[in-house]
Structure 1
Amino acid sequence: MATAPTPAQAAIEAIEQAGLASWPALEEQRIAGWLLRASDGYTRRTNSANTAGAHTGQLADDLPLIERFFTQRGLPPTLRLLSTPDDLAIDRMLAQRGYRLCEDPCSVMARPLDGDAGDTPRQPGPPHRFALLPDAATWLCEFIRIKDDDGPHQKIHLAMLRALTQPAAFAVVQADDSEPQGCGLGVVSGGHLGLFDIATDSTHRRQGLGTALCQGLMAWGREQGAHTAYLQVVADNHGAVELYRRLGFEERYRYWYRTRG
C-alpha cells in the first residue's frame, strides 16, 4: 500500500503541478512515470523529461523511450530531477550511465500570501509605477527590449505564452515617465502564483524595480485567490536569492538537469 505523502512532499508536488501548468510546453507526452515536454529547444524546463511517478526500478525500461522521444525531435535527451529521495536515486543511476549535469541547480522558493503581499518596505525614492499590459505580444516586446534578446527563439516564447490557459498577468514597472525598465509574468494555477521572466534593465538595477514588480504581481495573485507564491532562481545567483529572501521567500527544494551528448 502506498504511503501518504508528508506535508513537505505534498507542498512540493503542488508547486510542481502549478509550475508545469504555468509554463506550458508546445508538446507533451506521458511515458510510464515520466512527463516528456518539447518546445523546439527553448528553455530546458519545456524540453526535458519530468518525473511523474517514476522510480529507479523502471529506469532501464523507460530511458530508451525517453531518449527516442528527444532524438526524434532533434533534441538532446534531458531529464529534470528534484532534490527528493526518489529523484536523487534516479540521479545517481543516470550519472552511472554517463548523463552529465548541464547547469547549476535551481532553487525553488516560496512564501505564503496570507498577509499583505506588499509587506516588504519600499526602497527610498519616487514610487515605481506597476502596470499590466493587455496581452502576451505587447508584453513580449517589452521583455525583448529590456533583456536585449531579439533572437528567433522569441517566436517560440510567444507561442508558449499564448498557450497559457491559466490566469496570467503580463506586468511592467517603471521608475519615471519613460518606457518600462522592468517586466515579469505572473500565473495562477491551483492556488499557487508563479513568478516567471522577472527582468530589469541593466542600467536600472538596484533601484527597487524588482521588488516593486514582485510586490505588484503578488498583490494581483492574492486578488486571483492564490494562497502561495513561488519562483525558480539559479541557486548561485546570490543577488537574486537575497532579493527574494527580503520579499519573504524561502527555499523549498532544488532541481537540476542531466543530459546525454
Structure 2
Amino acid sequence: MTETFSQKANLPLVRRLEAVGFRAWPASSVQYDGSWQVRLTAGHPSNRLNSIVPLDPSDHRDVEVRLEKASRKFEAYGRPAVLRHTPLASPVLIDLVKERQWTHFDETIVMTCDLAHAELPDTLDHLPTHDIGRFVDANLATDQVSPKLKPALAEIINAIGPPCGLFMIEDPETGPLATVLCVQDNDLAGIMSLSVAKKRRREGLGLEILTSALRWARMRSARSAWLQVKAVNVPALALYGRLGFREAYRYSYWRREQAQ
C-alpha cells in the first residue's frame, strides 16, 4: 500500500488538506528544513503533533544528513524520530527509512465529503459550547485517556486559529457520552476528536453529534468536510461512508526505534 500512495493521489488536494490539518491541530513547535516540517509538542504524544512532515515529493537533497538532523530534534525531547508518510513524501526518503529498518505503523485514511450537497440525517441537534475546559474533560473521559493530558489538549485547542465548534452530548447522571471538534477553515470543515463513550457505542450518538457539527459548519458556509480515520476502524468508516465521506488519500508513519 505504501508504495502506491503518490501514484493514486491528487497532490494539490493533498497539499491543501495537509495544510488545513496542521492549522486544525497545531504543534507547539514547527521548524522547516527545505519543504520538510519538523513538528514537536512536548506535552502531547500525538504523532500528528510530533513528526517529520515532507511536503514535496521532489525534495530529497542531502536526505541522509537532513533526516539525521531532524531525528536529533526528537532525541532532545526524549522521543524516537517519527516520519509522516503521505503522497508528498519523496520515494528516496521512504527508501532510506526502509533501508534503515524504521518501523512502519498507523495507516490512516483522509476522507472528504461534499458538504454543500450532503443529505444529513434528521437527528437531534446540539449547539457548540465555548467552555474549552469542560470539552477537554469530556473528550478525555469518552476516549478513556489520562486526565494528565488535559493541559496539553487545552493548549492545542486554544491555539487553533480558524473558528471551531466544540460539541458534546452529556448525561446528567453518568457524564459525557460523545464529543467532536469541528474546525472551519474558509470553505473546509475539519472533523477532529470524535469520541463516543465505550458503553454507549452503537446507539447512534456518533451520528447524532457528527451531524450537528456538519450542520453547524454548513450554516457557516463550509462547502466540504474532511476527517482522518485509522484504516482499521471499520465502524467509523461505515459511519462516515453513510454521510457521504470518500477516501482522498492515505498516510502512515515510520518510527526510528531507539537503541536499548
Normalised by the shorter chain, which TM-score bucket?
Answer: 0.7 to 0.9
Superposed counterparts of 1:63-102, under 5 Å: 63-82=67-86, 84=87, 86-101=89-104
1:1-261 equivalent positions in 2, closer than 5 A: 8-40=10-42, 41-53=44-56, 55-82=59-86, 84=87, 86-101=89-104, 103-116=105-118, 119-121=119-121, 128-173=124-169, 179-261=175-257
Mark the CA change 1:20 to 1:78 in structure 2 (over 3 Å): closer, same or farther: same
CA apart distance, 1:210? 0.8
Q: CA deviation at 1:7?
A: 9.2
Q: What secondary structure sits across from 2:26 in the alignment? A: coil
Q: Is the 8 A contact 2:166 2:182 kept in 1?
A: yes
Structure 1: distance between partners of 2:147 and 2:95: 36
Q: Deviations over 1:91-127 (max 9, x none)?
A: 22211122111x33001111111125xx2445xxxx5
Displacement of 1:179 in angstroms is 4.3
Cα distance in 1, alignment partners of residues 237 and 93 from structure 2: 27
- State which drifts further: 71-80 or 145-154: 145-154
Flag structure 2 segments of 5+ consecutive residues without an equivalent.
Answer: 1-7
Kindly state the Cα deviation for residue 180 of structure 1 after the two structures are TM-superposed.
4.0
Shift of 1:182: 0.8
- Does structure 1 conserve the Cα–Cα contact (< 8 Å) formed by 2:137 and 2:150? no
Alignment partners' CA distance in 2, 1:173 and 1:98:
44
Offset of 1:153 from its aligned partner?
2.3
- Rounded to whole Å, the distance in 1 between the matches of 2:107 and 2:90 is 14
Which range moved further: 244-253 or 147-156?
A: 147-156
Query: How many pairs were matched up?
Result: 248
Deviations 1:51-72 (A, max 9, x none): 1236234412311221121112
Question: CA contact under 8 A between 2:110 and 2:227: conserved in structure 1?
Answer: yes
Classify 1:164/1:241 alpha carbon distance in 2 versus 1 (closer, same or farther; 3 Å). same
- Give, as a single letter, the amino acid of the residue that structure 2 aligns with 1:68: R
Instruction: Work out the CA distance in 2 between the residues paired with 1:93 and 1:56.
Output: 10
Partner secondary structure for residue 106 of structure 2: coil
Question: Quick check: 1:113–1:229 contact (8 Å CA) kept in 2?
Answer: yes
Question: Normalized against structure 1, the TM-score is what?
Answer: 0.87
Structure 2: distance between partners of 1:36 and 1:190: 25
Q: Percent identity over the alignment? A: 23
When residues 226 and 15 of structure 1 are mapped into structure 2, their CA distance, relative to the original with a 3 A threshold, is same
Task: From the superposition, tell whether residues 100 and 233 of structure 1 become closer, same or farther in structure 2 (CA, over 3 Å).
Answer: same
Instruction: Give the CA deviation at 1:146.
Output: 2.1
Alpha carbons of structure 1 residues 87 and 208: separation in structure 2 relative to 1, 3 Å: farther
